[in-house]
Structure 1
Amino acid sequence: MINYQSDLFGITPDMLSHFCVGWSCPLSGEEMKHVLEHSYRFILSLDTKKNRVAGFVNSLSDGVHFAFIPMLEVLPEYQNQGIGTELLTKLLAELKDIPCIDLTCDAEMQPYYARFGMFKSHGMVFRKYLSPEQIKFYRNRT
């Protein structure tokens, strides 16, 4: 059974360590927990039979006018079961009073997000694409 929650009660870093599939240097469970703790809002999907986080979505916001959705992640074995749709629906309901909600995605994902009323927009981003060694170096700096 999949339950949804908007807190980290009972969630360990190990339960968050298998996300970012396809990333050259995925975030660790500790880093994922930090991301969620510092998000404006987040929703987790929890497989209660396996005591496993199946997916999550998070947002960053000023709480007034702008919100950004940086991550919607569902583990491969839980995809195509409506979990991502439910996560995003719940998050958008929590952001209903924020007039400007943005996210960036690959072109093949645009039809998915269009189902939620989002539309294509032009913009610019800055990304630091670093080697895995460089990423580890920067992550270990304090």
Structure 2
Amino acid sequence: MKVSLIAIGKKMPEWIQAGINHYQKQLPREMNFSLLTPEGQKRKNTNIEQIKISEGELLLKGCTGSSVIIALDEHGKQNTTKEIANAMKKWQQNGDTVSLLIGGADGLSDEVKQKATQLWGLSNLTLPHSMARLLAVEQIYRAHSLLINHPYHRE
């Protein structure tokens, strides 16, 4: 199994990057986790729809060859950690290559949503874009912990 988080934008607050690094280090090598951060288009004097299309092309390019594409979207299905763990178990069994996509500040293009295998939501709360990255990596770690019966996950 290979899991990639592909998120528009490179610049993150240090504390967010520290959190991402912390959880990324905890993931097993065999998960082959990677974080790809293509640089989005400059926003000044540019049409929002054109920005979403341009960023969508970058996201889709980043997930070429993926058998499972999950777009994180505010209207997507909100999964429990157990549901994410069950999905990960299937990915492992199938040897899937999984891409989790996070769009830029203006959201995802229609093309990305259409090409996605699934749409997932992280929360009904309005979250900073950078926080979505951290939550996604933490939930991947938490789901993995659940699968291996690690005491990190409690109910």
Q: Comparing both structures, which one devotes a greater share of its residues to helix?
A: 2
Q: Tell me the TM-score normalised to structure 2 length.
A: 0.31
Q: Tell me the TM-score normalised to structure 1 length.
A: 0.33
Higher relative contact order (CA 8 A, sep 6+): 2
